[in-house]
Structures are given as structure tokens and as C-alpha cells.
Structure 1
Amino acid sequence: MTSREQLLASTFVSLADTLVADFDVIDFLHTLAIRSVELLDADAAGIMLADSHGGMHVMASSAEEARLLELYELQNNEGPCLDCYRSGRPVAREDLPAMRTSWPAFTDQLQSLGFHSAQALPMRLRAETIGALNLFRLKPGRLTEADLSIGQAMADVATVGLIQERAIAASEQLATQLQTALSSRVQLEQAKGVLAQRAGLHIDEAFQVMRAYARSNNRRLSDVAAQVIDGTLDDNQVPKGPRPGPAAQPRT
């Protein structure tokens, strides 16, 4: 078995395992975003989920640039992720001119951040679509059919896991869980900024070291973020990993 096949198998196991005690939605979604970049010919990934009223929220991203692009989509009500969620089908365009025809403002923003391609895969189970996975590339063009199949399979497995985990709770708890996840996401963004400024880190590195600390100490990511914000977790307690380089370069 090759290293890619091993990573793919490990990814599907991780995405299917949502029945563990103290399941962490935010970390789960970040796993999907990061593994999408590692396994597919994509340079960044982001995930949006819908709340109980159909409103979309940015929930995870592999890099700060992906998060900014998804926020831009929401602010301007334009982009592949939104179209994907609304249609429940994969969304892509052949090239930049075709993208600009469909999403002019989004495409300009995409290029300003160094990307030249974006497409989205639905997070769905049968007729129910709960969100979308956005894939960004530094080079133009769509993903291959093989990569699209793998990406959709990962999104589908993650969706089944999320819906299965939700089904365990009562309907009132479902709304509470999503609201808690949304609040945790806001808190996480604040903590990234606080740690980045305090320790002189890149915003992506700040997230990486918080996540590494949470995992190595068997802590919830949201709890670590809260301690970073209120100052009860000293910077020296958070392990410093290697500083990440610039945005990924196109694969050759």
C-alpha cells in the first residue's frame, strides 16, 4: 500500500468515527479541509455548513486565504460554494473567463489571493445537503475526475458522520450544538489572532500550534482557544512547531 493509499484509508476512518465521546465538530471539519489538500490536487480548502435556517457559515479552512475567500462569498452572496449548497450538486467552471461570467466579484478576489481555480463539492446525504467543500487551486482548470471522486467520497462520508452524530441528540440539542460550534469558530478566530500577535506567529501557524497542543493534551480545541484569549494559557505552554512557508505552490 502506498503512502497516499494509507493516508486515504486513515482519512476515511477518521471521518467515519463520530461516535467517540466528546466529539469535536470543529476539529473534525478541519481534518476534512486539511486532508482534502493533502490528497487532492488542490492548494487550499474550506468548508461551509448551513444552520437550521439555511444560513451558511464558514466552519473550517486549510489556510487563511481559503477562509477569507469563503467569507467573501458569504458577504457578496456569490461563489461556487453557495451555488453548490443551493443545487446540491458539484459546481465548477472550465476556466477563469467562465468563472468571471458566473462570479465576477468572487473571481477577482480569488485572483487577488493568488488562486486561479475554484470548485465546490456538496456535503449531502440523499436529498439533504448540509453544506459544501470548497477547493482552491493556484493553477487554472478543474480537478481530474479521479480527484473529484475521492473528494466527493470524503465529503459524503463526513456528511454521514455529522448527520449520524446529530441524530443521537434530541432536536433541541441539534440547534444548540451548531450554535456552540459557530460560537467556538468565532472564538477560535479570535484566539488565532491573539496568539499570532502575542507570539509573533503567522495566523496559520497560530492555529497549527493550538491544534497540536489540544491534541497532545487531549483537550478540546475550543477550550484551548478560550484559554489563549483570557490569558490563562501562557504562550510558553503552547508548543511551537515549524513555521509554515508561503501558500502552496502548484504541483508539477
Structure 2
Amino acid sequence: MSMENLAETFVELADTLVADFDPIEFMHLLANRCVSTLAVDAAGILLADDHRELQVVGASSDAARLVELFELQNRRGPCMECYLTSAPVTVAGFAEPPQRWPEFSSAALDAGFGAVHALPLRLRSQTVGALNLFTVKAGVLGESTIRVAQAMADVATIGLLQAQIITRRDLLARQLQNALQSRVLIEQAKGVLAERLRIGMSQAFEALRRYSRSRHQHLSAVAEAVVAGKIDVTALGVEGRKPR
């Protein structure tokens, strides 16, 4: 592996702070970069969903993707073991018995692979998936290659989790902004009712709440309609002085 290619790989894997970040495309980038940077023939990536069920989210080839899908379907194999234990798992050869996972080994052999190395996608105590490196020839990858592969997996995991944090933060910010805008509308609607019906602000708010509940509408939507004059204020059923 060349130092230039390795440096470029880590720069790409660290660049997740873009506005149009796509986690699926990012996982495919990781898989393809493993093949171009490391001495492997194919790579696949499994990520856990909200229910902690693994899903295939990236693969450098159809053969790797099919082997991963077979493993998930049978719920047994080195990649799943790696995710569950948060520890690397190596199968140096599929042809030599005894095999811990004979079904997986048979599927991998049929796909043209001779060995697999599964590395956890983890950050401290949190494991989110597994990176799986396939080689056509049987055998164990060199120690330096494994260290680089784990470093790539770690950088990718940090980037992925950072992107999720930013997404949640942006969502929270939008929700907060919507709440603030809704609060402004409600205060304006209370003012309209108080002025039109000659009632207090508390009575006006209760009138808005009753109206929204009876019609199963959001309070902010009712308030917006009141401010826009789309609701006859007398329909809110407030006992007060006569409207002006």
C-alpha cells in the first residue's frame, strides 16, 4: 500500500461534515477503499439498525454482498460473531475442516473466497457493525495490514457517529425553532381573542385549547387560522362580552 493512497483514504473517510452526507455512499466508499488500499479482494460492511439487527449497507462486489446476505439470513458466521463480541474474527481458510460455520464457509467458497477477516466498527464501548475483508487465497493478513484496516474502520465509525449527532442536533434545532414559531402564533391568537371578545389572556388560551381538541387540530394550526382571520372567533365558544 502506498503512503499517498493511504493518506488520501483517511482524508476521505474523515470528511463527513458535508451538508449532503450520505451514510450509504460513505459505507460503499469504505468498502471500495479497503480493496484499493489493502491486500484484499473484496470487502463488505454490516451496520446495526435501530433494533440492533445487522443489515448489509456496503460491499465492493456482488459476491461479497451475497455472502453477507447469506450470513445474515442464517444468523451465524464470523461477521456476526465480530459484531456481537466487538472483537476481530479471522477464518484463515474455508476448505480445511473442521469449520465453526460450515454453511457460511460453503457459501464463501462458492463465491470464490478463501478467507475472511472481520473487524468491529466501534468507538470505545459502542459497536455499530462489522467490516469484513475477503481474500481469494486462504491465509492470514499481515499484522500491519490488520492495524491499518482497523484504523480505517475506527475513523469511519467516528465519522458515521459524528454525522448522526449532527443530524440529531439539526433536527432538535428545527423542532425548537418550530416550537418558538408556534408559541409566537399562539400569543398572537390570544391577543386577537382577548381584544375581539373582551376576555383575559388565560380565557383566550383555554378557548384555543378547547377548539383544537374538539376538532383534533394542532394548537398552532388553530392559532394560525385565528390570526389569519380564517376562524370566526365566536365559534370558539367563549363566554365574554360581545365581540366588537
1:65-105 residue CA offsets vs partner (Å, 9 max, x unmatched): 00000000001111111001000011013433667521100
* 2:70 match: 72
SS state at 2:65 partner? helix
The number of residue pairs the alignment matches comes to 172
Matches within 5 A, 1:67-216: 67-96=65-94, 101-170=99-168
Tell me the TM-score normalized by structure 2: 0.67
The answer on whether the counterparts of 1:99 and 1:107 sit within 8 Å (CA) in structure 2 is no
Mapped to 2, the partners of 1:14 and 1:40 lie a distance apart of 15
Q: Equivalent of 1:47, from 24, 45, 48?
A: 45
Q: Does the 8 Å contact 1:100/1:107 carry over to 2?
A: no
Q: In structure 2, how many angstroms separate the alpha carbons of the residues matched to 1:130 and 1:24? A: 17
Q: Is the 8 A contact 1:72 1:106 kept in 2?
A: yes
Q: 1:172 to 1:84 in 2, by over 3 A?
A: farther
Distance in 1 of aligned mates of 2:94 and 2:64 = 18
Identity %: 49
Letter of the 2:117 counterpart: Q
Q: How does 1:10-49 map to 2 (within 5 A)?
A: 10-49=8-47
Give the partner amino acid of 2:59.
S
Counterpart-to-counterpart distance in 2, 1:6 and 1:36: 14
Gaps of 5+ in 2: 173-244
> 1:170 Cα shift?
2.4
SS at structure 1 position matched to 2:88: coil
Ranked by relative contact order (alpha carbons within 8 Å, sequence separation 6 or more), the top structure is 1
Q: 2-side partners of 1:105 and 1:19: how far apart? A: 41
SS of residue paired to 1:96: coil
1:199 is matched with which residue? none
CA change 1:173–1:107 in 2 (3 A) is: farther
Query: CA 1:76–1:4 in 2, change beyond 3 Å: closer, same or farther?
Result: same
The letter for the 2-side match of 1:117 is: A
Paired residue type of 2:158:
V
SS for the counterpart of 1:157 is helix
Structure-1 separation of matches of 2:171 and 2:130: 23
Moved more, 153-162 or 84-93: 84-93
SS of residue in 2 equivalent to 1:54: coil
In 2: Cα distance, 1:66 partner to 1:41 partner: 15
RMSD: 2.0
Asked if structure 1 preserves the Cα contact closer than 8 Å seen for 2:99 and 2:105, the reply is no
